[in-house]
A and B are shown apart, each in its own frame.
Chain A
Amino acid sequence: MATHVSSQFSDAYDNTLSASERRRFEAHCETCAACAEQFANYNASLNAVHALPKARMPRRVHIPATAPGHAQSSPWWQRLVAPRWATGVAVVAAVVLVVVAQRGQTVPSQNNAVSSGGNPKVQAPLGAAASPGGEKASTADTTSCGLLLVEMPTATPAQGFAHQTVVTDPTRPQQQLVLALADATSTTLSPGEAVNVYAVLSAPLAGVSRPGSAPLPAVAVHYSACVAWMGPTGSALTSPVSASHDVESIRVPAGIASGTKVTLVAQIPADVPQAGNAAITAALDITIAK
């Protein structure tokens, strides 16, 4: 229903009417019940729009491996780098986003990843399972290992899970690969059981602040690891699955005899987050229950 001053409602709401316009508007509303009511409803409606909850981006933003705005002669998707370890794993999209964080640190090239805790095994790059087996509850892209997960609110990696292993590399001591069972009460799991796995490489990133102002708190940049199940002889029971969220649901392989020792392995590929970084691997020993 058109009213006398409805065309001014938006400006009135924003307080952008001039002083004289405002006086005339208010004077009219004092004498016109229809306009007064309609403006009241208008206000309530816009207040409700303003009150809509803010949302948080639910996925990590991935950015390319090349420098920002780098001069390009080919489409951006052709310049994305595929993980070198992915031999034998089907690449669905043919492109993978890998980010090399530049923090001014020079990292000498070494070939050994050293475990500071948990299982000290050094794993070869994770490849496809030799024989079909196990189920993946997750639908994560297997080509997404080593993806930069941009936002983390704390400088320290999330730990404190009851069953976890933390692996570091002496060439980059501030970074930690944490592999954990997020909700499990023990490391004895049933065949086919779905478990929540946390597999993340955490790299502290100093806060950026305006010169002269208080420094912003440091945050941690997380990189997604790939996880896979390995049998007692080291054979792959499942193909790697990317833990593209901090906690990923995966299934214990089915059809394994009770009492068998299997290993849950998480791996960050080489050159993540910087070229020259060796692959880093963490492993948890799991016992198959009845």
Chain B
Amino acid sequence: MDDEALLDRARHGDRDAFSTLVIRYQDELYTMALRLLGSPADAADVVQETFLRAYVNVQKLRGVTVRAWLYRVAINAAHDVRRRTTRHPTMALEDEETGVINLPDAELGPEATTLAREQVAAVRSALLAIPEEFRVAVVLRDVNDLSYEEMAHALGIPVGTVKSRLSRGRALAAEHLRTSSALFAAEGES
């Protein structure tokens, strides 16, 4: 059943339909929130907040896809969580890997695995170092694979502004990673 059909059923009181939407989107929304906020606990709070808000406001969705709507709710929730939390982003890869489902290949040797972990840490750090406005654009596009149109709906801005923020965010991320030995040592070896 597609998203719109599920949402329609949810609007008519079908909690199972809404649960299916939760199952379908919770991981990608968690991934987005994790890359935005850097904290697994905050990211989980964002996802919980997102679906609670969506549940309550399910009648109000009009004119956008369910996916874009959920992302919009999640982005707003991430903003709210960041404002009220006193937690600080953790840099410990161990925190993140409890929820990561695509760990470095078990067939890699120890050296390659270490390099892969360092690369992940470098990219995480670079994302968190760029201003939020641009970080959101990079995460939505390059982590969550949203289209420009979905990003525009999720952010409530024109596609042109999406592209502008994305371009700036990517340039900043690339600049931060330019000096990353973990990243470019791996590239040099490939």
Contacts and interface: CB of A to CB of B under 8 A. Distances in A.
Interface of A: 6-7, 9-11, 13, 41-42, 44-46, 48-59, 61-64, 67-70, 72, 76, 99-103, 148, 150-151, 205, 208-211, 219, 221
A68 B34 contact: no
A63 B13 CA distance: 13
Nearest to B30: A57
Given A7-B167, A44-B183, A67-B15, A53 B101 contact: yes
Contacts of B55: 63-64, 68-69
20 contacts: A9-B170, A45-B177, A45-B183, A46-B142, A46-B173, A48-B183, A49-B142, A50-B142, A54-B31, A55-B31, A57-B27, A57-B99, A64-B56, A70-B13, A102-B16, A150-B22, A151-B26, A205-B16, A208-B16, A210-B1
Contacts, number: 169
A205 B43 CA distance: 27
* A contacts with B: majority SS: loop
B71 interface: no
Contact of A69 (B58, B122, B124): B58
Interface stretch (B44-52, B62-70, B75-83, B106-114): B44-52
Q: Interface size for chain B: under 10, 10 to 19, 20 to 34, or 35 or more residues?
A: 35 or more
A53 B99 CA distance: 10
Given A45-B174, A69-B56, A55 B167 contact: no
Given A59-B44, A208-B6, 6 more contacts: A10-B171, A41-B184, A44-B187, A52-B120, A52-B124, A99-B15
Nearest to A207: B20
A6 B1 contact: no
Nearest to A148: B19
A49 B127 contact: yes
B99 A56 contact: yes
A209 B138 CA distance: 33
B58 A63 contact: no
B121 to A, nearest CB: 10
Nearest to A97: B52
The 10 A-B residue pairs with the shortest CB-CB distance in the complex, in nearest-first order: A69-B58, A10-B167, A67-B13, A45-B174, A53-B102, A69-B59, A57-B30, A45-B177, A58-B99, A57-B26
B178 interface: yes
Contacts of B157: none
Contacts of A99: 15
A181 B172 CA distance: 51
Contacts of B26: 57, 61, 150-151
Contacts of B174: 9, 41-42, 45-46
Chain B CB within 10 Å, residue with most, of A9, A13, A57, A100: A57
A41 B178 contact: yes
Given A41-B184, A49-B138, A76-B52, A101 B170 contact: no
B189 interface: no
Contacts of B163: 10-11
B185 to A, nearest CB: 11
A282 to B, nearest CB: 25
B2 interface: yes
